[in-house]
Amino acid sequence: MPKRGEGLAGRCRAVWTKMGPQRIWTADELADAVGIQSYADKKMIWTVLRDARRRGEIERVDKGKYRARAGAGRRCGRDRMWSVIRMRRRITADDLAELAGVERSYASSYLRDLARTEVVRARWQGRQRVYELAHGYTGHMQTPPGDNAERIRRFRAKKKAAMEALDKAMGALQEARAALADD
């Protein structure tokens, strides 16, 4: 029986974690295990599976067959860094890299992003830059807001323009083939 307040993704994750990486299962078996019977609710299972595959928690073995990935419960580097920052409240890039198990350059970049968005404050202490969590900030933040959304918008606009040019070229190619076939 599902726990009160636990979401569908959490219930599914608990089921496939319990099954382990050796057991291969289908979406229908997962739906039965979490207590879902209606078609509308089963459609949500596919969304959970898609998101879990993108995060690397599960893998598709064959069409419609999945299994949990070994070591999938590990949190990503940004999550680990954010947890360390919230626990320590004041930290250097070297300490963050060591405690979160990430490269120093990655930790430094993450701290700079957080400083730019004013989640942490940077100040020099001797020869090291120390980052301190902004006063009163306790919210969860996996990825700091930034220019990523704008970069994605530009990429999609370029992709759309390229696809339109490709469609135009394909149309011209089909016209040329038709003209040659008529002769």
What integer is the mean pLDDT of 62-85? 78
Residue 100 has pLDDT above 80, yes or no: yes
- Which three-class secondary structure state does DSSP give residue 91? strand
Does the domain made of 8-68 have the CATH classification 1.10.10.10? yes
CA neighbor of 76 nearest in space, from 101, 104, 50, 49: 101
Under the banding of pLDDT at 50, 70 and 90, the label for residue 171 is: very high
Residues 6+ apart with CB under 8 A from 14: none
Handedness of CA 80, 85, 87, 93 (dihedral sign): positive
Task: Provide the pLDDT for residue 164.
Answer: 93
State the pLDDT at residue 1: 45
CATH number of 77-133: 1.10.10.10
pLDDT band for position 4 (cuts 50, 70, 90): very low
Residues above pLDDT 90, as percent of the chain: 17
Position 5 confidence tier, pLDDT thresholds 50, 70, 90: very low
Query: What is the DSSP-derived secondary structure letter of residue 22?
Result: T
Residue 52 CA to residue 132 CA, distance in Å, equals 33
Q: Does residue 120 or residue 54 have the better pLDDT?
A: 120
Three-state DSSP state, 145: coil
